[in-house]
Structure 1
Amino acid sequence: MILKTTHRVTGIGLLLLLGLNLNSCRKGDDDVTPGQQLTWFDSFGKALNDSLKAKSIGYGFVILEKGVVRASGSGGLKSRATEPEGEKAFTLDTKMHIASMSKTIATMAFLHLAAEKGLKTTDRIAPYLPPSWIKGENIGQITFRDLMTHRSGIIGLGNTCVNGAFSENIYPGFKQLIEKGVRTTNRGNYCYQNANFGLFRVLIPAILGYQFTGNDTTDDQQTQQRFIEYVQKNVFEKAGLTNVVANQPTSNPTYAYSYPASGITGWNPGNFTNTVGAYGWHLTPSEAGKLFATVLSTTDQSVLTTAWKDTLFTNRLGNFAGTTSTGPITYHDGWWFLKLAQYQGIRTIWMKFPDDVMAVLFVNALHSSRGNFPSDDGTDIVAYLSRAYTLTRQMKGGRQMAGRLILEHPEPH
């Protein structure tokens, strides 16, 4: 079943949501050349910047057209006075866990490898699973495409289709899920599970020729290392990025907080090296903008050929789709949190708009009671970003229409 939701907001309502009047958007006096006409990109960036800086959270965003940066902004703190590191500004060069945006990166890595090895997305995964793992019911039917669209039939060890915990996204957890198998009634049905993409950390090394030893500790370490090296060499470096890892910078972490600010010490999510795949990569807003724009909204074919890009978008591999009043969008958001007395966490997203416009947005705080994007009216990050884009385009063109957003899978990812 495909879940759908429709969000409607009037132009005036969204102006209140963003906390500014886009008709009067302009850069700071030092940024404007006399007589220079502002573009709608300037207005888009101004809208986001003015709204986010009012929240006293750490944030960074980049807006690109065909891979060229057209607007950007950052503000707030990555580390507050409550932390051992003291106050540190959140900038466009701040490394942060990108959470489930990593799933698109796993997709890029697999499709790049599939092109090298002559594989199809409809090929089955079973030949590439460790020979010593017991394959449960219907595991032999699962394809790579099933994993990349969350239609494998994997619903977690709890049989509830609640996204699996950390224990299901480490090597022993994968082994348990494969042995458990999947029910015929679940095959082909959408069920968002980290394990679907986490398994690529095992599958990609196997496709590359890794010979499993049967020793779980050895195979776990070796597949982690080989997966990370493959993604670094064939995705990040081909997009012009170096030194991308699945861990916080040494002694320079980006903390996660709650919103509104409570004074509680921030949360350091730590090291994701042994779970990287479905989540875990750490990028800066600038790096993420460059990566997702280069691969997904330019003619560059270093990572993916045009045909494989079409496959990724057409089949919703590692991305989700939506429609707005100004055209279709594709995206993948990210969500990571700790909930004790309140939520502390991060929210991230890449979103591709019409005409090869790409936007990336990171924030290092979640609403303390809802655990999603730090808005005051319940608007989450997908609607927040897409509506800002839509209203900016409409008002720049002198039109004001009701905004309309339809998402196939509106839940946070």
Structure 2
Amino acid sequence: MAEVNKLIYQLAGIGLLMFVVNGCQKSDDAVTPAKPQTWFDYFGKALNDSLKAKKVGYGFVILENGAVRSSGSGGLKSRASEPEGEKAFTLDTKMHIASMSKTIATMAFLHLAAEKGIQTTDRILPYLPPAWVKGENISRITFRDLMTHRSGIIGLGNNCVNGAFSENNWLGFKQLIQQGVKTANRGNYCYQNANFGLFRVLIPGILGYQFSGNDVTDDQQTQQRFMEYVQKNVFEKVGINNVIANQPTGDPTYSYSYPYTGVAGWNPGNFTNVVGAYGWHLTPSEAGKLFATVLSTTDQRVLTTAWKDTLFNNRLGTFAGTVPDGAIQYHDGWWFLKLTQYQGVRTVWMRFPNEVIAVLFVNALHHSRGNFPSDDGTDIVTYLARAYTLTRQMKTGRKNAGELTLEHTEPH
């Protein structure tokens, strides 16, 4: 609650400031009228003030119907101790967006499904490499199963622990498909990166790639074809070019612990061979443009209105919840290294009522909890949703009934 109380104080301060400014204005015609403050201004200022106090690198963008209404950034993407020296975190800072990439994989698949006449309830089997051994129940898995984490895949350890690199490269996928899924696990929710990582193999298969049976060749070819398809049919459709799954050459965004302990930052490196469930690198401005254009405007270059409805109604590559104003959709991202402490990134896009989308990136995690850099355990999804709610209530002067609820509260 400390994080929420801090936001309340900041929001109250904004209201007091506006009262003083407006109350002290003279009626003299020579005085320039103050620019009217919108709800978006309050929302942005509250986020800026709160995040700046944490002394972490951050960037956020708030959009309505695809138009930027507020934004902010601060802190450092690289500290003085790093080889590149001290560099500011800005709205143009490229950062690993982690599992926000899952929504991008969903967009790409749905765009291709519309082109090829494929339904989300179709089976994935025809598009897997023929040389892969198919284990129990693999023939029953549908695209929708993957996009809702209900395929029955629970990881190589058979314990629903989410896999990272070892289960999300070519050989990891091959092992998971050979292992198969138990009937008892089919249809049950189990968050697994591999569910979305497999689209790196499936999309080339749908496009007609003839798998050679050589692991090295097929691995490289599916990486290239998947990335080309996403680039041309998702990113470029909204005017974003040259997106990669790696840090910009010589200009990395480092990850740190919170509070900063002086330990050198962590460069997560290259994700090209595992891109799909995670891995894409975007700036806050680019991410805001992408998610707002595709998910909160009438633009249909990536997804038609019908496919957008399919995505939201079936929770494909998204999670859902409610705030007092109404329903929200979102996907957060989380990537970290833990040695003696946590270092990592936390990201989220969130769609609020009335076609408002907010994107927030931070490049630090709490050193002992490995979560959003808060002092009381408030995570990024809760933090952003409550900031929205508190700002709306301050602007309208009334408290709406209801509380924040999330269907899946764990970090993703």
Class of the TM-score when normalised by the shorter of the 2 chains: over 0.9
* Alignment of structure 1 residues 5-404 onto 2, 5 Å: 14-17=4-7, 20-22=10-12, 24-25=14-15, 34-400=33-399, 404=403
Q: Please state how far the C-alpha of 1:403 moved relative to its aligned partner.
A: 6.6
Q: Structure 1 residues 156-165 or 108-117, which shifts more?
A: 156-165
For 2:143 and 2:374, the matched residues in 1 are separated by 36
CA distance in 2, matches of 1:65, 1:49: 18
SS, match of residue 50 in structure 2: helix
Amino acid at match of 2:146: L
Maintained 8 Å contact 2:3/2:383: no
Counterpart residue identity of residue 349, structure 2 = W
Superposition deviation, residue 399 in structure 1: 1.8
Partners of 2:231 and 2:134 in 1: CA distance:
30
Deviation of 1:400 after TM superposition, in Å, equals 3.9
Unaligned segments of structure 2, at least 5 residues:
22-31
Q: Tell me whether 391-400 or 203-212 shows the greater mean CA deviation.
A: 391-400
Higher Cα radius of gyration: 2
Aligned letter for 2:318?
Answer: N
Q: How big is the shift at 1:23?
A: 5.5
**By how many angstroms is 1:36 displaced?**
1.9
Give the direction of change, closer, same or farther, for the CA distance of 1:380–1:13 in structure 2 (3 Å limit): closer
Q: Matches of 2:50 and 2:281 in 1, distance apart?
A: 25
Note if contact 2:6-2:50 (Cα within 8 Å) is conserved in structure 1: no
Distance (Å, rounded) in 1 between the aligned partners of 2:333 and 2:318: 11
Instruction: Calculate percent identity across the aligned residue pairs.
Output: 79
Return the letter of the residue paired with 1:301.
Answer: Q
Q: Which runs of 5+ in 1 are unaligned?
A: 1-8
Distance in 2, matches of 1:401 and 1:378, equals: 25
Contact residue 60 and residue 73 of structure 1 kept, 8 A: yes
Counterparts of 1:161 and 1:217, CA distance in 2: 28
- CA RMSD in angstroms comes to 1.5
Q: Distance in 2 between matches of 1:38 and 1:84?
A: 42
The CA deviation string for residues 326-351 of structure 1, in whole angstroms up to 9 with x for no partner, is 21110000000000000000000000
C-alpha contact (below 8 Å) 2:204/2:226 kept by paired residues? yes
Aligned to 1:5: none
Following superposition, the deviation at residue 24 of structure 1 comes to 2.1
1: distance between equivalents of 2:411 and 2:313? 22
**Could you tell me how far apart the structure 2 residues matched to 1:15 and 1:305 are?**
41
The one-letter amino acid of 1:129's match is: L
CA distance in 1, matches of 2:264, 2:101: 27
1:323/1:150 CA distance change after superposition, 3 Å: same
| 8 Å contact kept, 1:387–1:403 | no
CA distance in 2, matches of 1:48, 1:403: 22
- In 1, the alpha carbon distance for the partners of 2:243 and 2:217 equals 24
Equivalent pair of 1:64/1:293 in contact (CA under 8 Å)? yes
Measured in 2, the distance between the counterparts of 1:281 and 1:160 equals 27
Tell me, in whole angstroms, the C-alpha distance in 2 between the residues paired with 1:82 and 1:308: 47
Give the SS at the match of 2:10. Answer: coil
Alignment TM-score, normalising by the size of structure 1: 0.94
Deviation at 1:401, TM superposition (A): 5.8
The count of aligned residue pairs is 399
Post-superposition Cα deviations, 1:139-162, rounded to whole Å, max 9, x if no partner, equal 000000000000000000001101
* Distance 1:57-1:19 versus aligned 2 partners, 3 A rule: farther
Aligned to 1:44, the other structure's residue is in SS state helix
Deviation at 1:17, TM superposition (A): 4.5
Instruction: Tell me the distance in 1 between the aligned counterparts of 2:14 and 2:197.
Output: 46
Contact 2:11/2:394 (8 A) holds in 1: no
Secondary structure of the corresponding residue to residue 92 of structure 1: coil
Could you tell me whether the CA contact under 8 Å between 2:4 and 2:383 is conserved in 1? no
CA offset digits 1:362-385 (Å, max 9, x no partner): 000000000000001110000000
SS in 2 for 1:108: helix
Preserved CA contact (<8 Å) 1:337 1:343: yes
- Cα deviations by residue, 1:117-170 (Å, 9 ceiling, x for unpaired): 000000000000000000000000000000000000000000110101310000
1:271 counterpart SS class:
coil
CA distance in 2, matches of 1:22, 1:308: 41
Secondary structure, aligned partner of 1:124: coil
Q: Give CA deviations for 1:173-221 in whole Å, capped at 9, x if unaligned.
A: 0000000000000000000000000000000000000000000000000
Conserved? CA contact 2:132–2:174, under 8 Å: yes
For residues 173 and 19 of structure 1, do their structure 2 counterparts lie closer, same or farther at Cα, with a shift above 3 Å needed? farther
